[in-house]
A and B are shown apart, each in its own frame.
Chain A
């Protein structure tokens, strides 16, 4: 039995990229403008 040990680390840049994408799509002023 030889399991594989994987080492994973948080990719900070990727996480920030995803969160910024969501933040951009829910910007308060943009939403107001699009509603108007």
Chain B
């Protein structure tokens, strides 16, 4: 089945999978510009008498179809998602009309800045390195997903908020609503795959990594890369690892933490790895950036800037040593390069 037929199939048949209370609903398919300029196909099922409906993106379901899932099972899953989030529109209306409640539900997310410049034109955002924080209003959070509305310029004005207040509220709320999870890579994979699949994979592949990798995400594993910017989060990781660390932008959903060890001569190998995985394994809309970052104990910087800084500082230090030797032993000819180590 090609993609157009798949969309048509959903549009024509989804009502047959919904309970009676959805009779008379309006089914609508539209296209939305999402992360990294990606266009996604969005399904809304608007019940009679309502003005807001949850949006369900269909592109991933097509992947499931191609992986062997039955069309009927996909329709059933979409129907279940719609039913489970039936309270979301009313909750959204209540939130927007109740400023005190609404303020506790404002969160931030992180996306790549360059790849999202067009999308960011219509919304408040804050730039951090080569990333941008965007803001959302969480309507519902459950085991089956997160329902939220993007805070664009229209909604921000409607709520009588400004970007600074949004940023302040989001920094307070996000760690509470989406607590950070920091675990070793193997522990995360084991918990997601289940013990049986993990054991099976371990039989075929050596799971011991060098350097050891850690994963930082949030409890829902949706847009969990933002957890990196929770107040105190990077310091907490540094304390746990007893080391400064590199950050690999695995996706908008999680980042990979790599402790700085002697084995890592340069960030360049890590950057090649990120670019390679991004181009082959990560869905385009889930790519965060292609750069590696470094936490030096004070702030998060681009790893390439950090290494340039270290090189500059090394050159300066050498000049200082040269001057000292010249002052103390004016008649000696000493090669200060020998025995110098970073």
Name A's B-contacting residues (CB within 8 A). Answer: 1-12, 14-32
Contact = CB atoms under 8 A, between A and B. Distances in A.
A3 B96 contact: yes
B180 interface: no
Contacts of B161: none
Nearest to B189: A19
Interface string B219-250: 01111000000000000000000000000101
B170 to A, nearest CB: 16
7 contacts: A4-B52, A6-B57, A18-B251, A19-B192, A19-B250, A22-B213, A22-B250
B273 interface: yes
A2 B280 CA distance: 37
A28 B154 CA distance: 51
Interface of B: 32, 42, 51-57, 60, 81, 85, 88-89, 92, 96, 137, 139, 144-150, 154-155, 158, 185-186, 188-189, 192-193, 201, 205-211, 213, 215, 220-223, 248, 250-251, 253-254, 256, 263, 273, 276-277, 280-283, 286
Contacts, number: 134
Contacts of B263: 31
Contacts of B52: 2-5
Nearest to A12: B192
A6 B220 contact: no
Contacts of A31: 210, 263
B85 A23 contact: no
Contacts of A5: 52-55, 85, 88-89, 92, 139, 147-149
B199 to A, nearest CB: 15
Contact of B280 (A1, A4, A7, A21): A21
Contact of B250 (A18, A24, A26): A18
